[in-house]
Amino acid sequence: MKRVLRKLSFVAVALAAVSTLAGCTKKKNDKTKLNVIVLNRGYGEDWIKSAKSIWEAANPGYSINLTLDAKAGALIQKHIYSKNNIDDLYICTDAAWKSYADDGKLLELDTFVDEEVDGVAIKDKLTKEYRGHINYTLSGGRGSHVYRLPFVSGTGGIYYNKKLFDKNGWEIPTTYEKLIETVNKIRTDHKKYDDEDDAVIKPFVITSKNPDYFDYLVFSWWGQISGQEAITDFFNYQDSDVFNTASTTHPAYAGLKQATQLWASIFNNSANYHKQTAAKYAQSDFLEGHAAMMINCDWIYKEIGDFLASAGKSYADYADTFEMKLMGAPTVTGATNPHAGYIIGEDQFIVVPKSTIKADLAKSFIKTLVSDQVLKIFNQKAQGFMAYDLSEGTYEAENTCMESIISYRNSLTYAFTNNSSARCYLNGNVDVWCQSGLRPYDDIIDGAGIDGLFSTIYNTARTGWNDWQY
């Protein structure tokens, strides 16, 4: 592959002025205090506060200064390019970690991942979709190292209201054909919920601000259709032809197009969904019984729970009308791998800034984070999964939603994410859709043809490929 030096990171350019100003004020850096910035969204903060308490109890004389922020990504960008950065650990969701690594701002963790937690090397505790995919190749062929450890292993797919299904006699589909039948049945029944005139039940509720959520279903169907070998080849990004749906050398993208067509058969009909402007309104529709299903990730349970708590309520107040469960991705006929599933979290990270003077403390806290004890706490308090397997025992579900998620995860014989280790540093933003702006869902909903959209993706890859290569 042709290699050319990439341009200076956009992050570095955008923050150059901020870095200069930030370096003017000297901050106090207490060697006994670990400064940690954590994204406070979706999975909440209870789990990290518990991990903090566990670590502090095991390390007398030391403490953790937690900064919990819903916009942690912007804060991290500001700090990491500062001349006086006193942060020691970051836990967040943001593809910018690749730029940080390329700009020499992250500590290499190559040997650290060989160290053991609960009697198992950290690299071997990784869940199967991440195992063997944690090295990142720098631009200009400057080497491949472990800079980031994965954070979560998110479980996406179709979440449904079991109470609503039971009340109306709707079948919980296990195949794509049955899903279409169920969608049609819900739509044609045109039932009301509790006789409210404005509460027509639609099969789905979606939000205009989260079109990427559709990936959680479409990519799982892609995994079923194309299988592990073809998708692994795709993530090597060998040449622009991987985006060619007619390619016989790289057949995976044809499978993605097919999966997108399956999705479009449902969502190009506006009668099949309510559309809300924001996630909280879509979740409210789901909770109140105005929609039977919602494409989302496992953080939805915690998010709805927090929404209820803010209103002085809980799931118990909806016990008669709402019980959320995961059906995953119903099986596609003729699937190469019927038990494939896409896992969310490729852009999420646990990283140590290279500027830290407390690397040993940061690594010690990471070991606490990936310990069985904290993994179970995360499962219970955040209602999700970190990207690490339990060394001993199993997760004990505290509700039927988590039971369904665990059952689905256990059924997967092929679990995959976007495999950052295998991708080239193609201008920093190339992904499954060539560039994130080319994700086709909104255009399809607005009436655009799938053939033309996929041709545009391929043409964009062909014309930009040489400039994207590192």
Angle between helices 372-381 and 46-58 (to 10 degrees): 150
The mean-pLDDT minimum among 46-60, 149-163, 262-276, 424-438 falls in 424-438
> b/e map of 196-225 (b: 16 or more CB within 10 Å)?
eeeeebbbbbbbeeebebbbbbbbbbbbbb
Q: Mean pLDDT for the chain?
A: 90
Please tell me the predicted confidence (pLDDT) of residue 423. Answer: 46
Q: What is the pLDDT of residues 27-41, one digit of tens each?
A: 799 999 999 999 999
Is residue 419 over pLDDT 80?
no
Asked if residues 82 and 102 have their Cβ atoms less than 8 Å apart, the reply is no
The CA-based angle 185-216-96, given to 5 degrees, is 155
Please tell me the predicted confidence (pLDDT) of residue 23. Answer: 44
Please tell me the predicted confidence (pLDDT) of residue 8. Answer: 35
Task: Give the predicted TM-score (pTM) of the model.
Answer: 0.91
Domains detected in the chain: 10-153+346-393 (3.40.190.10), 155-343+426-468 (3.40.190.10)
DSSP state of 172: -
More confident residue, 156 or 94: 156
More confident residue, 266 or 424: 266
Q: Which residues pair with 161 in a beta bridge?
A: 324
Q: How far is residue 233 from each of residues 125, 252, 253, 343, 422, measured CA to CA in Å?
A: 25, 8, 11, 18, 9
Q: How large is the average pLDDT for residues 171-200?
A: 82
More confident residue, 369 or 470: 369
Q: Is 423 left (phi over 0), alpha (psi -120 to 50) or beta?
A: beta
pLDDT tier for residue 411 given thresholds of 50, 70 and 90: very high
Q: What size, in residues, is the chain? A: 470
pLDDT tier for residue 4 given thresholds of 50, 70 and 90: very low
Percent of the chain whose pLDDT exceeds 90:
78
Is residue 250 over pLDDT 60?
yes
Residue whose C-alpha is closest to residue 144's, from 439, 422, 458: 422
Q: What is the pLDDT of residues 375-400, one digit of tens each?
A: 999 999 999 999 999 999 999 999 99
Q: How large is the average pLDDT for residues 219-246?
A: 94
Q: How large is the average pLDDT for residues 336-350?
A: 94
- In sequence order, which ranges of 116-251 are alpha helices (DSSP H)? 122-125, 162-168, 176-189, 215-234
Percent of the chain whose pLDDT exceeds 70:
90
Q: How large is the average pLDDT for residues 444-467?
A: 93
Residue whose C-alpha is closest to residue 430's, from 457, 412, 451, 411: 457
